[in-house]
Amino acid sequence: MSGQRSPTRSRSIWREADGWSVGIFDQRRMPWAIETLRLTSAEEAADAIRDMATRGAPLIGATAAYGLALALRAGADDAALARAVDLLAATRPTAVNLRWALERVRARVAPLPPAARAAAAYAEADAICEEDEAVNRAIGAHGLPLIRALAAAKAPGEPVNILTHCNPGWLATVAWGTATAPLYLAQDEGLALHVWVDETRPRNQGALTALELADHGVPVSFIADNAGGLYMQRGLVDMVIVGTDRVAANGDVCNKIGTYLKALAARAHGVPFYVALPASTYDPATPSGDGIPIEERSGDELRFVSGPDEAGVMRKVAITAAPARNPAFDVTPAALVTGYITEKGVCAGPEALAAAFGG
């Protein structure tokens, strides 16, 4: 552990002062504590991804890229390279960014002699992070006009009400976030906003979104996952914006469990439903959402909750003894998606998305 770091929007992964180890926020401790971890090996990077100390599709890709650099620092022959890629790729199966980042680093270093591979891997991981920040800022710029248009139809001072799900923010990417980037820019522009933030059980990643947005001055209301439909029904949601862990060639969207239900409610009540994603999350090799592996996590994530008690002491409490099933993701059919907000622009359907990304 490398101590404290400001939670204010910044980069969520960095090289430490020694130039080779990697720092991340320990998101298992958030929002109750802002602590960081220092990663010094591929095994530690893999553990951080698997145990969700770091999470979010773009961020686990960046973490895996640095994990591969850490591995090559210890041993860089072809066998070591293959072992490290396999180790890191096996940590989480759903988000395509993980494999994308590993293959990008492997393609960069494989033609080089072993002595040159570690430095090249670090440089490629650095480049992935630089690009992620720029891409997410561009997603924000393309999503901002959507919010402007909604604001223009409001009475003066009346907020645009936006619903989010999970944590598609800067803590899930290298910087800015995907679905949150337009919100940051809208707030900076002075548009009146209010964001309904789903709790996103069982790991309550919505609490991270609430932390991020409130820190930036955006008014938020933290709500139960099942409350969004009621607010849509009563005309209190103007737009839904979510992130995604993988988008198939036909435009089907795989995202945190519960996203599909939000999309169904949005369609029923005429609320536009947008998905924000970078090119690295688009997977033209998977024809439809049926081919996306859905990660099944431990049922204990459902059966137990953790948090500080009245004295501020962290406790883990059982809420049921029943057997639990815990799929981490679901698939929203492309027909329910109003548009895809990308670094290339807003794509109105899967054909436009494929054209934008050359799929």
Q: What are phi and psi of 24, to 5 degrees?
A: -140, 160
> Are 343 and 135 spatial neighbours (Cβ–Cβ below 8 Å)?
yes
* Best CA proximity match to 101, nearest among 88, 112, 113: 88
Whether 245 sits among the annotated catalytic residues: the reply is yes
Residue 53 makes CB contacts below 8 A (sequence gap 6+) with 24, 26, 27, 28, 37, 47
Cβ atoms within 10 A of the Cβ of 227, count? 15
Residue 256 pairs in a beta bridge with 329
Task: Tell me the C-alpha distance between 295 and 121, whole Å.
Answer: 28
Task: Tell me the C-alpha distance between 180 and 186, whole Å.
Answer: 10
Query: What secondary structure, in 3-state letters, does 10-40 show?
Result: CCCEEECCCCCCEEEECCCCCCCCCCEEEEC
Q: By CB neighbour count within 10 A (0-12 exposed, 13-18 middle, 19+ buried), where does 160 fall?
A: buried
Choose, from 26, 238, 245, 283, the residue flagged as catalytic. Answer: 245
Phi-psi region for residue 145, left (φ > 0), alpha (ψ -120 to 50) or beta?
A: alpha
* Best CA proximity match to 208, nearest among 254, 177, 238, 162: 177
Quick one: how many helices (H) and strands (E) in the chain?
A: 11, 16
Q: Which amino acid is at 39?
A: L
> Are 263 and 336 spatial neighbours (Cβ–Cβ below 8 Å)?
yes
Which are the catalytic amino acids? 245
